[in-house]
Amino acid sequence: MGDQETPAADRAWMYQQSSGALSELTFDPAESGASAKGISDSGVIAGEEISAQSGLQAGFWTVTGGAMLLSGQFAGSEWAVAANDNGAVLGDYGASGSPGSAALLWSAPGYAQTTLPGLRCDHCDRLMISANAINASGTAVGQSQSSVYDNGTLVSGGLFAVEWQAGTVTSLGSLQDSGTSAAYGINSGGDIVGSSRVGQASGAPSHAFLYRQGAMLDLGVLQGDANSSADSINDSGQIVGVSSDAAGAQRAFLYQNGQMLDLNALIDPASPLTGRVGLQEAVGISANGWIAVNGTDSQDPGWTRAFLLIPSR
């Protein structure tokens, strides 16, 4: 699943490898557009409707053809980003002013909306909280602003990767105590991946991380690069994401067996795409190792394309 840009608004789509069909996902024929953000193992696709009249409204589709819009207190400015197989849909709210942004959860069967708590944030008029992924057991991950004062003195603060379990939020910290991190993926075992700045200076680079059993591991970058971010992890511990050089040129990576590998170097030499495609960011990896990647095709320059990588083994 993913999005296609049009002059009016994004259009959501679903690809089924078994049939090769690319189908548009809609909630209402009268909508301006729609966007698909995440898919569960059972085929629940989270996203939002885009309407010129009502703004953004969170919702989900099923691969069997169902669709449902979700309601909440932030009507017109909320969207869904992920879903799990137990009927939970995760989302976000974002707008100017107060509160700024919030993480949201809709739970089956009634899909009542809950606002997930952020970290302690003293004297924060505008909060920055976002959710990105949820696993089968309902543990969600994202990012939250934090600031803790003692008698007017700042004790600690930053924008940290967090996890939510049973309504409780916990900071995952950051690499090198940089004070800036975000979590983007979680597997069924509770392993979490994301990105963290690796120095306290504002211009310090950011590296992909794996958070496991209370410890955050720096995954590094591809050779010659300066920054990286991990987007997804499967239950086998395979991690995918993006690595970029100082000029911003991106390469998709696969991290496994303690090594970060350039996915461009792993394309089958016999593939007709060899030499044509530039794989820029791997955004998802399934339980069987299939990888969804954004990239470019030299035969169709100027556009970002979606690719599906299927292991040959």
Q: Which residues contact 283 (CB under 8 A, 6 or more apart)?
A: 231, 232, 240, 292, 293, 294
DSSP letters of 47-80? EEEEETTTEEEEEEEETTS-EEE---TTTBBEEE
- DSSP code of 85? T
Is residue 135 within 8 A of residue 148, CB to CB? The reply is no
Residues 66-77: pLDDT tens digits?
A: 999 999 999 899
Report the pLDDT value the prediction gives residue 313, as an integer from 0 to 100: 67
Structural contact between residues 1 and 13, judged by C-beta atoms closer than 8 angstroms = yes
215 vs 217: CA distance, rounded Å? 6
pLDDT of residue 16: 87
Residue type at 147 in one-letter notation: S
pLDDT of the chain along its 313 residues, tens only? 888 888 778 898 888 888 888 899 999 888 899 999 999 999 999 999 998 888 899 999 998 889 999 999 998 999 999 999 999 999 999 988 777 899 999 999 999 999 999 999 998 888 999 999 999 999 999 999 999 999 888 888 999 999 999 989 999 999 999 999 999 999 999 999 999 999 988 889 999 999 999 999 999 999 999 999 999 999 999 999 999 999 999 999 999 999 999 999 999 998 888 889 999 999 999 999 999 999 999 988 888 999 999 998 6
**Nearest residue to 65 via CA among 9, 23, 116, 121:** 23
